Structure formats: C-alpha cells, structure tokens
Amino acid sequence: MKTLTLAGAALLLSTFAASAWEPTKSVEIIVPFGPGGASDQMARTIQAIIQKHGLSKESFIVVNKPAATGGEAMMDIKKSLGDPHKLLTTSSTIYMTPLATKLPVSWHDFTPVSMLAQDEFALWVNNESPYKTLPDLAAAAKAASPPLKIGGGGSKREDELISFGVFSELKTPISYIPYKSGGEASTQLAGNHIAAETNNPSEDVANWRAGLTRPLCVLSPQRMNYKNKITADMSWNDVPTCGEQGLNFTYNMLRGLFMPGNVTPEQQAYYVDLMKKVSETPEWKEYLERNALLPDFRSGQAYVDFLTADEAKHKDLMAKAGFLSMN
C-alpha cells in the first residue's frame, strides 16, 4: 500500500509538472521608453540573464515603444488581452502618464507580475557649487532673482514632480527646466547651466565619478547600502539623506513588470517564478549595485498593495502640482 501511495504521489507530481504552463514562442519585453535608458537597461539585463542561465526554452526579445511618454506601450499591452507572450517594464509612468493625459488605460487593466527594485533619487549640484547641504541650496533659492534653474528629465514626469515636492516644502520658488532625458540634465549641470537637478544614480554616476557633479542628498527614507567607493573618498552610503538635512519629502520609483489582462493564473505564476530566479542571480545583484538600485522583490498581494499606495501618493502629489489632465 505504501509503495502504491508513493507511486501515486509521484504520478501526480509528474502530471502537474507536465501540465505547468511555459511560453510556446518568443516573449516580447516591451519597454515604454527608447533604447539606452534605465527601463531599457533593466529589460536587456533580464533578457541576458534568462539566456545565460537557460531559464526559458523560448527567447526573450526587447521591444522599445517610447511614443506618448510610454502611452503607446501601455495601450499595446491593454489591447493584448490574454496574450501570455508579452511583458511590460514599468516605472511611475504607469500612473503618471494616464493621470497627466487622460489616456484610457490603467495598471488595473494589466496583470501584475512582480516588482524587482526601487530607483532611488538624489538632488545633484555641480561639483564646484558652493552648496554643500540642502539648507545651502534652499537659502540660495529663496534669495535668487530670477528663480534658480532646476533641471530634470522631462515635463510632468518624475523629476519635475520631485522638484515640486522638494521646493514646495522648502517654500522656495524655482524655474524648472525640462530636458529630454536625465542624462541630458546631468550634462547641463556639469556645464554649470543649471543650479541643481533631480536624477536617479544611473543617470549621474559617470559625471560624479569624473568629478563634474555630486549628490547633495538622497531622497530615500534611508541611506543607500552600497559602500564601494564611487569617487576617491565617497560611496553611495556616504551620501546623507535629505531627511537628515531637515526635509520630510521622500521619493522612490518602482521598477517592475506587468502582463496583459485576462491571462491565466498558471501563466502569471510562470513569470513570477522566472523573475524570482532572475533576481537571485549574481548578474542581477551586480546590475543593482552598478545602478545603485534598492533590491525589493514583491509579487502577489504585496505588489498590488504597493501599487495601490504608490498610485494614490502620485495622484495626490500631481494634483497639488497641477499636473492632472482636466480634459
């Protein structure tokens, strides 16, 4: 009887394994921005890890759809109901683009897969700037006429929202200058064309390492954990939080993945498991440190809870900043 029971259990496991869903053709990882940006880098890192470690029998292909500030990519996923061979990389644009444009799409139309990390932002100044602390910058902004120029990557996107949040709390007027990308904003700061800019680490680290810019403070609730030196005497962990300098406003940005709506639980589970395996590889951990990303894997209800709270935070802040579409 015991032998029969064991044999039956083995048969059930074998049947379950055989029936577990897997992709049957190439999988598209759709990136809502152009090649070379942070979202594109994440997608191509995932693609390379899956291929290197043989985590899927089918290939993964990165497809860039940057039109309409990510709107094109989101509409593509919305229209691909039930298609388990498409993934969407996401950041806070998943809320901001629909709220700012009234695009008829929401993350609620999609199937959440997992959050993989959070992007941590900093306030950056030119390396030769007299501003050594956030209060230094705030005092200069209050005294400036015309207002200080603060740069960022894009209009009504994360950088402008961060600038609004920071300088509203400091009660200082500024002139926000939108650039085409965070990289361009960093270049303008390195050339001393603006007083400061908001940026994630990956967009500014090269200029920091070259001695052209430096982080004034980090907008996360806690200091970054990375202790390897970026410059001769500073690591990310050495950069104080803006909270340590008296600011209550904080901002982190999710990095995660969605599928189209109406996929099966088995199809969703496949990608959750796949991304969990990706997140545990040495290559992924090296990618996180190289870009100073906060490791944060969430799936299931934990991911949905994060999305719900994060969307509410963005909607409230965008309303205060006047970014919500009135159409």
Share of the chain above pLDDT 90, in %: 86
179-189 per-position pLDDT tens digit: 988 889 999 99
d(CA 296, CA 301): 14
pLDDT at residue 37 greater than cutoff 60: yes
pLDDT at position 69 is 84
Stretch 161-165: mean pLDDT: 97
Q: Which fold has domain 122-250?
A: D-Maltodextrin-Binding Protein; domain 2 (3.40.190)
Poorest-pLDDT segment among 18-27, 226-235, 284-293: 18-27
277-325 per-position pLDDT tens digit: 999 999 999 999 999 999 999 999 999 999 999 999 999 999 999 999 8
Q: Name the 3-class secondary structure at 55.
A: coil
Mean pLDDT over the full length of the chain: 93
Instruction: Tally DSSP H helices, then E strands, for the chain.
Output: 11, 11
Q: What is the DSSP string of 293-312?
A: PEEEEEEHHHHHHHHHHHHH
User: Is the whole model's pTM more than 0.85, yes or no?
Assistant: yes
H or E stretch covering 51: helix 38-52
pLDDT at residue 7 greater than cutoff 60: no
Q: Which fold has domain 26-119+253-321?
A: D-Maltodextrin-Binding Protein; domain 2 (3.40.190)
- Token pair recorded at residue 63: 């497809």
Stretch 226-254: mean pLDDT: 97
Q: Name the 3-class secondary structure at 173.
A: coil
pLDDT bin (cut points 50, 70, 90) of residue 327 is low
Residue 313: CB atoms within 10 A of its CB come to: 13
pLDDT at position 59 is 98
d(CA 303, CA 322): 28
pLDDT at residue 6 greater than cutoff 50: no
Residue spans per domain, the chain: 26-119+253-321, 122-250
